[in-house]
Amino acid sequence: MTYNIDVNGRVRRVGVERAAGGFIVSVDGRRHAADVTVIDGLWSLIVDDDPPGAGLRRSYEVAVTEQLSGSGGLTIHVDGRLVSAAVAGTTRGSWGRRGHDGGSAAALANGAPQRVTAPMPGKVVKVLVRQGDLVAARQGVVVVEAMKMENELRAPKAGTVAAINVSEGASVDAGAVLVVIE
């Protein structure tokens, strides 16, 4: 299966095929072997560098939140860092049909309010902003502890904190809207 994916405004051609013990993923023609495990909505990825089998491996923790709008938009947290993406030209599967609006490249470009969402179930350790605060793009806004790790979630764009929907110590579900930035 091949997808065109807009990642932070840059379109990448991504191919995914099953292979013994995992997947072969190609990104703009570069092939990588990937081992994927999903536990409680959190993806654990172990990726071999190009070419597969070269012995260079990296691991990533990934959480994906799909947008409600049906646009194919996704909010992806990779090792706690926010990545906005949209899957172009596909209606396969549930892309864009459930979850919470997160920050697609198109929504960022048109100035739509952005929602910082919980990448996985956890507990809010610290809220780093207050309603009305001005924030810079990629500034930390809330810290969530999940699976014994603290993840600082960041603003997808510069703007004003319009709403804070959580307090310190609160438990949150995956995809819960924590902070809204306009």
Q: Tens digits of per-residue pLDDT, 33-47? A: 888 888 777 788 888
Cα–Cα distance measured from residue 22 to residue 88, given in angstroms and rounded to the nearest whole number? 24
pLDDT at 108: 46
Tell me what pLDDT residue 130 has. Answer: 95
What letter would DSSP give residue 166?
-
Which residue is listed with tokens 């956890």? Answer: 122
Average pLDDT rounded to a whole number, residues 23-32: 88
DSSP 155: -
Domain of 45? 2-181
Q: What is the mean pLDDT of residues 53-68?
A: 75
Q: What is the pLDDT of residue 162?
A: 95
Predicted pLDDT at 59: 87
- State the pLDDT at residue 92: 41
In 10 A of CB 70, how many CB atoms? 11
Q: What is the pLDDT of residue 146?
A: 82
DSSP codes, 65-130 = EE-TTSS-EEEEEETTEEEEEEEET--STTTTTSS-----HHHHHTT--EEEE-SSSEEEEEE---
Within 10 angstroms of residue 127's Cβ, the number of other Cβ atoms is: 17
Please state the domain count of the chain: 1
Please give the pLDDT value at position 10.
Answer: 84
pLDDT band for 98, please (50, 70, 90 cuts).
Answer: very low
What CATH number does residue 127 fall under? 2.40.50.100
